[in-house]
Structure 1
């Protein structure tokens, strides 16, 4: 099962696609707000697309509508001695936009 992650700016314009990531965690809930988080290598074209206030739309392969959309609410840049060396990695994530419908 594959996923496509489209990145949008604060004005909801599509600005690119993240096609390479280290990890992606999705929590999709029925009639409740879900969450999402991704880890990408810093200094890559994928990392350059990210901006606070922007967001993502995540599509599952074979599904026409996004399974989750959400604003980028948090960033964490970090390094370790054994992994994510050099420029490090970037965690980013947020809550699903469905919160508007269920609050």
Structure 2
């Protein structure tokens, strides 16, 4: 059995996390190293290591993550806009091998990112 990820440990109550929302399919946590005034992570309960590991059966789950992101952005008052980001692999700075959708807002975003 693979070692639990940081996110799995938080979802299992083994580690503390600032959970702002949860349902049967995902949890939303505040990022511990925020890059914007609002920076939350939408994390599926299913442990999928990276976007490259997604399968067709994950389509509805990934769509659900975006619907939850929209709800959280509204709840956080991000009326002026927000950014959603998936990082995939070390070159994209994915640091936890469990997909998670970043939701960032509360400040003007630059382009291009990175």
Q: TM-score, normalised by structure 1?
A: 0.38
